[in-house]
Amino acid sequence: MFKKLIDKSAAKSPWIYHINTGSCNGCDIELVACLTPRYDAERFGFKLAGTPRHADIVVISGPVTSQSKERLIRTIAQVPEPKCVVTVGSCPQSGNVFKGSYSVEAPVEQYVHVDVAVAGCTPKPEAIMEGLYKAALLLEKKREAMHK
């Protein structure tokens, strides 16, 4: 009876959990910039969650260092379904300027399923917002698919 309402709500209240896998902090501050008055991601219901158990969208930034790989996989496993994974910046996709380093294990697609990738070094907040919004719409689809 509430199925429709719940499906709709899935897109309206995406909570974000942010994982930094060795990022230079550039993408991180841009992500935080999305929440500032200028961009105000909260108007779409975005909220930063403190723990992966509360999250709907996992945001990954950074080129996945060897130290962080295990922790990344473990943390993403702890997020309850339906969930989306969004990468911010070029690093998680390709390794960017860190590519070839002995301690960098990008791209992240090898380890976790990525739904939305926002490229750029660093991407503009507008781009991040759009990526997150797409992920939010995807959440609704995933939720519908889960409860056919």
- Which CA distances in Å does 59 have to 43, 144, 145? 18, 22, 22
For residue 18, what are its two tokens? 């942010």
Q: Does 120 bind other proteins (CB under 8 A)?
A: no
Shortest CB 108 distance to other proteins, Å: 15
Q: Does 50 bind other proteins (CB under 8 A)?
A: yes
Report the C-alpha gap between 136 and 95 in whole angstroms. Answer: 26
Report residue 122: phi and psi, to 5°: -95, 160
Q: 125-146 and 3-12 are packed helices; what angle lies between their axes, rounded to 10 degrees?
A: 160
Residue selected from 24, 26, 33, 52 as contacting other proteins according to rule CB under 8 A: 52
Shortest CB 16 distance to other proteins, Å: 12
Report the C-alpha gap between 145 and 148 in whole angstroms. Answer: 6
Q: Does 42 bind other proteins (CB under 8 A)?
A: yes
Shortest CB 81 distance to other proteins, Å: 5
Whichever of 48 and 137 has its CB closer to other proteins, that residue is: 48
Q: Does 10 bind other proteins (CB under 8 A)?
A: yes
Q: Does 13 bind other proteins (CB under 8 A)?
A: yes
With CB under 8 A, what is the number of residues at the site for other proteins?
A: 40
Beta strands in the chain (DSSP E): 15-20, 47-48, 57-61, 84-88, 116-118
Contact residues for other proteins (CB under 8 A)? 1-3, 5-10, 12-13, 19, 37, 40, 42-45, 48-54, 56, 68, 70-75, 77-78, 80-82, 143, 147
